[in-house]
Chains A and B, each alone.
Chain A
Amino acid sequence: MSSRLMRAAAVALLGSTLLAGAPAFAETVLHRGNSGEPQTLDQAQTSINIEAFILKDLYEGLTIYDAAGKIVPGAAESWKVSEDGLTYTFKLRENAKWSDGSPVTAQDFEFSFKRVEDPKTAAKYANILYPIKNAEMVNTGKADPKELGIKSVDDKTFEITLERPTPFFLELLAHQTALPVSKASLEKNGADFVKPGTMVSNGAFQLVSHVPNDSLVVQKNPNFWDAANVKLDKVIFYPIDDQAASVRRFEAKEMDLVYNFSADQIERLRSAYKDQVHVSPTLATYYYVFDGREAPFNDVRVRQALSMAVDRDFLAKKIYSGSQLPAYSLVPPGMANYGEPAKADFAELSQLDREDKAIELMKEAGYGEGGKPLNIEVRYNTNPNHERVATAVADMWKNTFGAKVTMSNLDVSSHYAYLQEGGKFNVARAGWVADYADPENFLALNLSTNKTFNYGHYESKEFDDLMKKSYAETDPAARSKIMHEAETILMRDQPIAPFLTQADLWLVSDHIKGWQDNAANEHLSRFLSVSE
């Protein structure tokens, strides 16, 4: 290094040390790690949770999740549901305002919902609002947006009519796609309504600045109806997709919150940061799909045997260091309106007993040692953890059945494109994260009519009929019972082998107050505060 540069470096070093010693600003700032750059801040285009974290701080839907992940009133202070479960009437808060001071009206919600369903908008999550009457027809261009089952009764009364009773409808309304957009702002600014300086929002915060891949800054919205209870002046979101980099910035005390880090770091971080490390089981399942269209995977015994032979405890503890939990059901635990999910019957056996039974089943089916050769190709999307899981599973199948297992992987887009387009395979990895906290969201993946998500082309009339019955059932308890029966059939047939319930990993600095782990993984900044 030349001496001039050296001097410059020394000055810079000195400067930064001096700065670090300066008194902190009077305002309260939350430095919030967000595990990637948001692709959009448009509620009609959003599809991923890193966008949801930002959008839900900026906007407030009719319903919201509180700090514990429970549905509570948001922009609507109350609602009434008709006897038949088809009509929801929402009373908006009198003092709900946009950040420009204008009132939040029923017309804003009406405009926003119509915008999402309008095929011209090409909203990614338009189907979230499909339970609304005519929504699917409108979205597929078969009906005019005017026919959408929503109505502004007056400025503060918003009425929604549903296609069929939907017990989880209030959950759907808390999705970021159902956030309102200011009609006036969108009409004035067009596509630019998402930009800092232009955006008008009705949530606890408003957008100040956004430098892609650097930071997104929001500050307290003085016009928010509950501004008095918002303790943070500013939240800075850091869109860092490199998990190791976020951990380093947490360790350097530059960030208070980190969302998602590499599971192999858990033990080290736990010993260094103790209870600042949060492992919070979430509504997401990691599973393998069997291609039911061809032998040997069209034989239920083969699928059962392969599923039983997988030691889920090993996967959870050794590969994921306890950051994921063993799963024996497709629906993850922690779903309020479902209770304990229906597990596969082998869940009660020890792993050794499962293996014995698996060998027996496989012999019955006529494959493996002494039978027809068992050749399996496992497909997964490229990722070090998925590779470790595939390697371990391959090893288990080799040891138990003498199977010949090969592996292949593609990047995530290609992997799912192949499965969605009906490509043939043997066994493939898949994952599902709940869009809303209802078992239907998981079970419907296996309907024979589900052309996109039923990768293994599972067809069971018994299962389909039960699901159909569940859609017609309005009583929550009866509906839950029917869905348990459907899941029992699914777990008997094992068209998919659930391996793990995923967990969200958070680093939460001990300066942060008000944090609660929850299965919905909902953490609005307005419920958090930062202490000195």
Chain B
Amino acid sequence: MLSFILRRLASAVPTLFIVVTISFFLMRFAPGGPFNLERPLPPATMENIMRTYQLDQPLWRQYLTYIGNAVQGDFGPSYIYKDNTVAELIGKGLPYSIELGFYALLLALIGGVTLGTIAALRQNSVLDFSIMTLATMGTTIPNFVVGPVLTLIFAILLALLPAGGWGDGSFSFLLLPMIALALPQLAVFARLTRGSMIEALHADHIRTARAYGLPARIVVITHAMRGAMLPVVSYLAPCAAALMTGSAVVETIFTIPGVGRYFVLGALNRDYTLVMGTVVLIAIFVIVFNLLVDLLYGLLDPRVRHD
């Protein structure tokens, strides 16, 4: 088990290296640079700036410098948000994104699995159809529509909840962005659960359990659920990584100070170091959550053993 974890973590190093290399060069091939603004800078000023940030050096040297610093945990200064280093920006924003993402994940997972199970148990009933219709809407209506509509109703018309911001971090500030963030994922979880639950309910061991006269609740929760959870768990990793590294859309709509928007802002402003920092962050989250899910798999499915 421990050697499995260590092996996986060791294989993460070349993965990260490749991710960093590809994104470094992709960013540099985009036209323009961090200091090409709507208001162009005089050539002398531009020269001063390029020299200060060592952008006047050959690309290969910039790359080596970057890798050398990154290995030591130094992701450089942000070119756009000059008062902060990339590490500071991510360090300040990440707690907000993780907290919001965690609640959204919880809501999506619990809500989605519950609804999916109910739909599977009442297959082809009105309840099933309504849940699945809702799930389809959840995936098709983008959160840049859901977010403003929620704000319009609860913040502006009813004046019950704040329209945005993190405020003091109390639940009232989190509720609307959490729903907007969770809804599409909740829909995916509901559909996955329904499908695999229907399959599980027709499995031989479930029929046997029923034949023994076990109560329906026990059959579903202890026996069917275990098998039905496998596809849900495999979706959990990319979903958790996506939710906890922040969503640029939801953070923008609800003006939340998370890290999600840095990826988009960084790319648009050609803030090379900021983009690289967020790329590394997302890659780490994906690697870690994939590892966790693989471990979870071992618990759920006795056929999977990590040694």
A residues adjacent to B (C-beta < 8 A): 1-2, 5, 8-9, 11-13, 15-17, 20, 37, 39-42, 45, 47, 119-127, 136, 139-140, 191, 194-195, 211-215, 238, 240-242, 244-245, 248-249, 251-254, 381, 410-420, 431-433, 451-453
Contact = CB atoms under 8 A, between A and B. Distances in A.
B165 A248 contact: no
Contacts of B31: 410, 413-414, 417-418
B33 A122 contact: no
Interface of B: 30-45, 48-49, 51-52, 80-84, 89, 92-93, 96, 106-107, 110-111, 114, 148, 151-152, 155-156, 159-166, 170-172, 175, 251-258, 261, 268-270
19 contacts: A12-B170, A12-B172, A13-B161, A20-B159, A40-B82, A47-B39, A122-B48, A194-B83, A195-B83, A214-B96, A244-B253, A248-B148, A248-B152, A252-B163, A254-B165, A413-B31, A413-B33, A413-B269, A414-B36
Contacts of A244: 148, 253
A433 B36 CA distance: 16
A206 B161 CA distance: 31
Please list the 5 inter-chain residue pairs (A to B) with the smallest Cβ-Cβ separation, ordered nearest first. A413-B32, A12-B171, A214-B257, A252-B163, A16-B172
A251 B156 contact: yes
A248 B156 contact: yes
A122 B51 contact: yes
A242 B165 contact: no
A413 B253 contact: no
A416 B36 contact: yes
Contacts, number: 183
Given A1-B107, A39-B80, A242 B38 contact: no
A241 B254 CA distance: 11
Contacts of B270: 413
Contacts of A2: 110-111, 114
Given A15-B172, A248-B152, A252-B159, A120 B40 contact: no
A13 B36 contact: no
A238 B165 contact: yes
B41 A254 contact: no
Contacts of A416: 32, 36-38, 40
Nearest to B114: A2
A414 B253 CA distance: 26
B128 to A, nearest CB: 19
Nearest to B186: A1
Nearest to A11: B171
A212 B164 contact: no
Given A2-B110, A212-B92, A238-B255, A452 B40 contact: yes
A1 B84 CA distance: 40
A127 B43 CA distance: 11
B259 to A, nearest CB: 9
A251 B162 CA distance: 11
Given A2-B114, A212-B257, A414-B30, A140 B107 contact: no
Given A122-B48, A418-B31, 14 more contacts: A1-B107, A5-B107, A9-B171, A42-B82, A213-B93, A213-B255, A240-B164, A248-B155, A248-B163, A416-B36, A417-B31, A418-B32, A431-B38, A452-B41
Given A12-B171, A119-B48, A417-B36, A212 B84 contact: yes
B82 A139 contact: no
A186 to B, nearest CB: 14
B152 to A, nearest CB: 7
A252 B155 contact: yes
B110 A420 contact: no
A253 B162 CA distance: 9
